[in-house]
A and B are shown apart, each in its own frame.
Chain A
């Protein structure tokens, strides 16, 4: 039986979110052939899911007899939905609507952390004044700075990916054509970014679940008793990165579709 909310979330991740990540690839071919964009998700999504079965003893084990019927049906329904809508409208349109849904969310959350940074400086300054002038220490205030710090970089990571602020080594990338850049981005998303995000979510699931189960609080009595919320930011970080990755993968797929490959240099 699916007993905990953690298991339900994990199942959703593997059987709904992971296969949906394939959609941008479908968008790449959607104008050439509806059939390709409808059929393509099948083998690719299954590959993703089975690749992660390798790590399944770290997450919820999809092969467990009490879990596998749910897993099987969820996966099937998701794939059918993707394929059916892909066949009807083309994967491009699905990607577009998911994109339109995710982009404002990721951006809004990222921008909101700007306030965290300002609040952080103000609170830390207050702590300094209280401590050095009046000899009064507040663990609550000091810990709130830690919470804001964690909130800042964990929640803004997806936003920074959208604004292209993560450092790249641009020796080759800098001078590459838009098409080549898009290929690199698409490749990077599927080979580096998505596996990293999925793995981080899988790894942090038991870690965060334990923290929730104990409603873990501060080690200090007068601290903020919400460490379980702070730790929940770790999977949130990965989910936001996944969303941002979906968006840049879609953009890259469209660029690849809309640009022609550079003609090979004629050998003189």
Chain B
């Protein structure tokens, strides 16, 4: 290598971290899977760095440890099980049923279909939280009905796109689990760097608790807006005559049959995490098994054996009885001399425990006959793998980025942001907002958050507040024309008759609501931080 090119390399070497980011943007826009683009760009820049002598190959050594870390991480184990729960509810058409029943329940009100979409979005959110899936499901199911009933296309599209993104901010969404894990690492790191050697920790539970009120606030704002439109511009959201929906009594009976089980499941899962009674992983497994039972009970086909239905019902009843017994009596085994009542209860609970596998078995048999089970398992592994492969690619990227001194560059840029802490937060939020046009929540969580969060947290930002702000900010980004993901997915499933401009126009009021929510959170951070501190301190 001659002296000239050596000099050029050295001059460029100092900027390698910045060039690396630019190269990454170019690479992912090509359209090759993001996970591998991240890792590939990392390796290319590691080689360039090695050649120009500014990169220490020791930075590459931890790649296998990072992958192993993703395997061993006890929080992330919740992810595949939550995905399984959501996918079962979707494949067994329970999500569909929920939407149908809600629409019948509220349809006779003006704007009722819009309200039901928002509420189902919030509920499904809890179980899936993957933007595309929810928007597509609701776009396919609700949009045609809403249009047929004379809803304004822009209003209908806006409602569906916005409701589809609610999924990620309402716990227990998967993105909050991932974000919680990343932020808790960043928080520890920030404290260690400040010389706090017994750092406070934040958990995924904290972030769930923190996101609950802001999430509900958004649901409330959406509902208020929809009620306002229905009241003042009735032609945009007409009511459906009660006669077409069936008598009021029929509607309520049908709702009473279909709604309680999934709702109970979702609240039980969320409640047990928030109450600190169970870890997200434990709650996720209960959610997945519960979804399996509900799906089994709903799966009716010709020639179904009645014993299966009874077994499933018995298993569900046994589970409830077991919870009641456990909360009232001490059933722990291996104690000295349990009282008479307690030993009786222990024997009863053994019997109850035997009923659960019976019901599960029946449920599994039914679902696998219908092909639902294998479809759900297949879908689950694909989504899970997609998530974790991005984690691995992002880990490789951030190792090399750090090796090239990128961390100091980011910190320097944030420190130099005009307006100090507020300026830095605003800058980060704007960058994430723009990135949200191109990247999914998962990629931003694994690539961007670990880079910026430690610096912000070190400046004194509250970790829970930061996480919630990031989540709502990204959610807004997904709704913003012309690139927003939610709009993109909705365009994919919307009928030809709906103009793209309608979709864009419909999203705007909801973006305004999102910005109002962000402003409220900035003015009153307690909306996010109060519940975690009240629950866990």
Contacts and interface: CB of A to CB of B under 8 A. Distances in A.
A235 B486 CA distance: 37
A132 B325 CA distance: 11
A150 interface: yes
- A111, A149, A176, A185 interface centre (most CB from chain B within 10 Å): A149
A117 B37 contact: no
Contacts of A149: 71, 76-77, 80
B31 A168 contact: yes
A204 interface: yes
B43 interface: yes
A196 B43 contact: yes
Contacts of B190: none
Interface stretch (B224-232, B436-444, B454-462, B468-476): B436-444
A199 B39 CA distance: 10
A98 B199 CA distance: 53
B314 interface: no
A153 to B, nearest CB: 4
A35 to B, nearest CB: 31
Interface in B16-49: 27-37, 39-44, 47
B396 interface: yes
A238 B380 CA distance: 21
B384 A188 contact: no
Contacts of B346: 134
B331 A135 contact: yes
Contacts of B386: 160, 165-167
Interface string A191-217: 111011001100110011000000000
Nearest to B373: A118
B63 A200 contact: yes
B57 interface: yes
Contacts of A128: 278, 282, 285-286
Nearest to A112: B381
Contacts of B64: 200, 203-204, 207-208, 231, 234
B63 A121 contact: no
Given A117-B80, A169-B31, A199-B63, A124 B282 contact: yes
B31 A125 contact: no
Given A114-B381, A165-B382, A184-B31, A152 B80 contact: yes
Given A152-B384, A157-B385, A167-B390, A122 B71 contact: no
Nearest to A143: B72
B374 interface: yes
A129 interface: yes
A167 B443 contact: yes
B332 A114 contact: no
Nearest to B443: A167
Interface string B53-68: 0000100110111011
Contact of B32 (A54, A111, A136, A185): A185
B531 interface: no
Q: How many B residues are at the interface, by size bracket?
A: 35 or more
Given A165-B386, A233-B71, A188 B322 contact: no
Contact of A122 (B41, B360, B380): B360
B409 interface: no
Contact of A121 (B60, B81, B278): B81
B535 interface: no
Nearest to A133: B326
A132 B63 contact: no
B289 A122 contact: yes
A117 B292 CA distance: 13
A174 B315 CA distance: 47
Contacts of A170: 31
A115 B285 CA distance: 15
A121 B382 contact: no
Contact of B31 (A55, A133, A161, A173): A173
A178 to B, nearest CB: 13
B80 A168 contact: no
B443 to A, nearest CB: 7
Contact of A174 (B31, B39, B396): B31
Given A117-B80, A120-B81, A192-B27, A167 B71 contact: no
A153 B332 contact: no
B318 to A, nearest CB: 11
A168 B32 contact: yes
- B39, B373, B440 interface centre (most CB from chain A within 10 Å): B39
A223 to B, nearest CB: 12
A113 to B, nearest CB: 5
A118 B326 CA distance: 26
Contacts of B325: 133
A125 B440 contact: no
A117 B30 contact: no
Contacts of B353: 129, 133
B349 A133 contact: yes
Given A196-B396, A204-B63, A169 B289 contact: no
Contact of B72 (A110, A135, A146, A199): A146
B34 A167 contact: yes
B382 A136 contact: no
Contacts of B63: 199-200, 203-204
A156 B381 contact: yes
A227 to B, nearest CB: 9
B222 to A, nearest CB: 27
A117 B72 CA distance: 16
A161 B33 contact: yes
Contact of B43 (A134, A150, A166, A199): A199
A233 to B, nearest CB: 7
B500 interface: no
Nearest to A174: B31
B336 to A, nearest CB: 13
A196 B32 contact: no
A230 B114 CA distance: 49
Interface in A47-91: 51, 54-55, 57-58
Contacts of A55: 57, 60
B377 A114 contact: yes
Given A135-B331, A135-B333, A167-B442, A160 B31 contact: no
Given A124-B282, A170-B31, A171-B483, 13 more contacts: A54-B50, A58-B57, A117-B377, A124-B281, A134-B331, A146-B71, A146-B72, A165-B385, A172-B31, A187-B30, A192-B27, A203-B61, A230-B68
Interface of B: 27-37, 39-44, 47, 50, 57, 60-61, 63-65, 67-68, 70-72, 74, 76-77, 80-81, 84, 278, 281-282, 284-286, 288-289, 292, 322, 325-326, 331-334, 346, 349, 353, 356, 360, 373-374, 377-378, 380-390, 393, 396, 438-440, 442-443, 483
10 contacts: A114-B377, A125-B285, A131-B282, A134-B346, A160-B386, A166-B389, A171-B29, A174-B31, A203-B60, A231-B64
Which 4 A-B pairs give the minimum distances between C-beta atoms?
A173-B31, A192-B40, A135-B332, A188-B32
